[in-house]
Structure 1
Amino acid sequence: MLARQPAYRPQNFDPAALPFQQVSWVEGRDAKTASTEIADLKLDLVLTLVSSVLPDQIVASLRFGEWRFSFANATFEGTDWSGYAGVIEDRPATEMRIDIRRGGPAQVTNLVAAAFNTKFSAARNADFIKERAVTLVMRELRRLAETGRIEPSYHRLPQVLRSDPPSDWQLLQYARRLSIKLVARIVQAMRVKLGGGVAVWTLFVGEGSPHDFDPHKAVEIPPDKDEIRADPFMLEHEGETYLFYEAYAPGDGKAHIAVSRLVGNRLERLGIALNCAHHLSYPFIFRHDGQLFMMPETNQARRLEIWRCLEFPLRWELHSTALEGLSSADSSLTLFDGRWWLMTNLSDFHAYEDHCSELHIFEVDGPDLKTVVTHRNNPVVIDSTVARNGGRPFVQNGKLFRPSQRNEFGVYGYALNIMEIEKIDLDTFRERCIRTITPDFSPGLVACHHLDAAGGRYVMDGMLGRSRQSPQ
């Protein structure tokens, strides 16, 4: 019930038509005979989903070794405890890795590792991680098929060691905390149904660059009763500064894009820039060839949309679309070293439409989106602590930087990262985190997940805790 896993119905293949071949091998059987039989099958590798390991003689016959999922190490006497440790120990994120046993004698190396925002339920935590493991291993298998060689990930987490199952006392404590969380979720769902209980976001503005500004010096622009604001983007236009942002009021079923003039540290509301039948957010606004464009989040429409400004700031027309049928979120477009890059967070998950775990990039021809070329290793990032875009990419001193969300502690948009993109082309994507901004710069904040900057100023958003949810 808590894992929320519906029956899986494949759409792209027929399981009954796949050429499976049963290999009879029982643990404890003579390894030399078994390895000879397996060698005759000319297997490239084995994916191991159980806690036991293959004998070294069999591993030595595998061209690319035995690939082991870390969650398999948490299976004891037929019970899967893989999702419990992250919840019981209050881990900010739960790690998952694929390690390779290879050679003779077998040596263990890490292939790839990722971390995911810990869920409130251990069963959901385990199932979500296993669902992401499918995407992760398929990407690595595709890369192996194309290159013929194993390419370990650039960043590696410490090896996850086998741990004991939780004690009876830990399970009792877990059951108590889970019950409290379930009651809180039921109350929250009732509040939302009655037109309240929505997340309240507030804005902060200040001076400085994304590299080194001090958020403690930011000035808050609190929300109004009829307009809560998030995902702000700045635009300098004809000597004035404007903010485009996601706007909604308590009780609204969806959000629209609004625009205000930023005068000092206050907003002068101008109106609704864009409103559609579906939810809108993240109004990524940019200039190209003397024209203004906006690329809002339209994941409910199952396509990417770019709108062109007809009359600033309230009249826009649909200019181009792409990624038809896909659920994309928080998309950004940047021109770097003469090439246009589209960075977006896609979700095609089976049970969890979570846009926080995968970053996909494409080379495009600009806002016309007539040419969209997929990166060879999409998704280039699989990790909820760094994957989701958190604002406009920016260039400084010839280097490209990407704000990203840090989804941890079970909170959506808990913190902000500044990622330095060290290499980007259609074959490679490599970045590193150079800064993290946590929601401790203002009392009552529980999250901060978006940043934009222009003209020496910056704007951020922050989610208020219950004690401060009192819009002016």
Structure 2
Amino acid sequence: MKLNKKIELAVWSIKIIKSDTIFPKRVNAHDFTSPTLQCTDVTDVEAEFVADPFVVSNGLNYYLFFEVLNKQSERGEIAVAVSADGEKWQYDRVVLKENFHLSYPYVFAHENDYYMLPESSEAGGVFLYKSNQFPYNWERGKQLLAGSFVDPTLFHHNQKWWMFVGSKDGRNLYLFYSDRIDGEWVEHPYNPIVRNNSHISRPAGKVVSHEGDIYRFTQDGVPSYGKLVKAARITKLSETEYEEEVIEQDQLTGSDQEGSWRKDGMHHIDHLQTEDNKWLIAVDGHFMKEQNYLFWKAKRFMNRPFYSSYKLSRHIIRRLQLIVQLWL
């Protein structure tokens, strides 16, 4: 292996804005210059990045749930940040971690309880979590779907619950429906409702109902993952029909500006309507960072909890970390 081998890492950050419209691209006044939350704001684990934000309110505060990629576990974990006004945010803590990767923490309230539907494709299913002490203490409940689906996106329409899920390869989109959240989920007869089309197949945030229309936000995975977000209007939705039309080809895109936190792309948008009929919108974006592969692997190795298995002292660990820092 070459000592100068390079690796490119995506560094994701989160921005939260207030808007008069669900389409922030149309509002020039929004300042995307700097992110609201980034990996350096995470205080309880060493984070590679933060991404996939979902915002919810309990009437007293706003809560932002998002993925934290933990360098030590090398898995996604779910964390929360809190705000009293939707503008000033404070990182709180990691609230959910499993022995498999978690991301895309769609949190919602239903019948006075709070639920989370995160991506858990590594575990081979879609699981429903319930909070016993919001925003903490998330307990895994029923498995809603079996299969390695990504980015489960739930919404309610015409007395039924609907769920979009993407395929692991990012090429197909599936739709399921149920009378109850924890009921039996039925596969739509048109599945996959998007077939072999990476431009519009992967969910990119909450489904939004606004002024009589239903909007689905989708990632465009071409030419690479995480480039931009599109918006589609759902025009037909029933147990036997599904149709949509893409209305925003580039709803969210990267800035293409050197030094920008979102230079290389954006892939998520979430909406919460506030009491004044405004929208609190959470998005994410990333830039690519080049690192020496061997140094990156060495830092990952030293971040692992291996004191007991390798019997290395804290003194040796500190020396190794110092050497790597000096080389970098």
1:267 and 2:267 are equivalent in the alignment: no
In the superposition, the TM-score normalised over structure 1's length comes to: 0.53
Q: Find the partner of 2:31 among 190, 198, 217.
A: 217
Aligned match of 1:465: 288
> Take 1:249 and 1:268, find their aligned partners in 2: how far apart are those partners?
19
Q: Deviations over 1:90-125 (max 9, x none)?
A: xxxxxxxxxxxxxxxxxxxxxxxxxxxxxxxxxxxx
Equivalent residue letter for 1:461: D
Q: Which one has a larger percent strand, Structure 1 or Structure 2?
A: 2
> Take 2:282 and 2:128, find their aligned partners in 1: how far apart are those partners?
23
1:402 is displaced (CA, Å) by: 0.7
Matches within 5 A, 1:282-297: 282-297=104-119
Cα contact 1:320–1:367 (8 A) shared by 2: no
1:450 and 2:268 are equivalent in the alignment: yes
Q: Deviations over 1:345-390 (max 9, x none)?
A: 134xxxxxx1x2111001112321x211111111000210011000
1:333 and 2:146 are equivalent in the alignment: no
Q: Secondary structure at the match of 2:264?
A: strand
> Take 1:253 and 1:224, find their aligned partners in 2: how far apart are those partners?
14
Equivalent residue letter for 1:338: Q
- Taking a change above 3 Å as real, the CA distance of residues 266 and 464 of structure 1, as seen in their structure-2 partners, is farther
Aligned match of 2:164: 343
Aligned match of 1:378: 191
Aligned match of 1:389: 203
Q: Secondary structure at the match of 1:199?
A: strand
Cα contact 2:83–2:89 (8 A) shared by 1: yes
1:404 is displaced (CA, Å) by: 0.5
> Take 1:212 and 1:465, find their aligned partners in 2: how far apart are those partners?
24
1:433 is displaced (CA, Å) by: 1.2
> Take 1:322 and 1:460, find their aligned partners in 2: how far apart are those partners?
27
> Take 1:423 and 1:394, find their aligned partners in 2: how far apart are those partners?
15
> Take 1:230 and 1:372, find their aligned partners in 2: how far apart are those partners?
28
* RMSD (Å), alpha carbons: 2.2
Q: Which one has a larger percent helix, Structure 1 or Structure 2?
A: 1
Q: Find the partner of 1:202 among 4, 7, 13.
A: 13
Equivalent residue letter for 1:201: W
Cα contact 2:70–2:77 (8 A) shared by 1: no
In the superposition, the TM-score normalised over structure 2's length comes to: 0.76
Q: Deviations over 1:143-187 (max 9, x none)?
A: xxxxxxxxxxxxxxxxxxxxxxxxxxxxxxxxxxxxxxxx9xx63
Aligned match of 1:187: 6
1:280 is displaced (CA, Å) by: 0.2
List gaps (5 residues or longer) in structure 2.
41-45, 291-328
Q: Secondary structure at the match of 1:412?
A: coil
1:277 and 2:96 are equivalent in the alignment: no
Q: Secondary structure at the match of 2:107?
A: strand
Q: Structure with the greater relative contact order (CA < 8 A, sep ≥ 6): 1 or 2?
A: 2
Cα contact 2:79–2:95 (8 A) shared by 1: yes
Q: Deviations over 1:186-205 (max 9, x none)?
A: 632xxxxxxxx542101112
List gaps (5 residues or longer) in structure 1.
1-182, 189-196, 348-353, 468-472
**Moved beyond 4 Å, runs of 4+:** none
Aligned match of 1:432: 245
Identity over the aligned pairs, expressed in percent?
Answer: 25
Cα contact 1:308–1:318 (8 A) shared by 2: yes
Q: Secondary structure at the match of 1:300?
A: helix
Cα contact 2:117–2:129 (8 A) shared by 1: yes
Cα contact 1:204–1:220 (8 A) shared by 2: yes
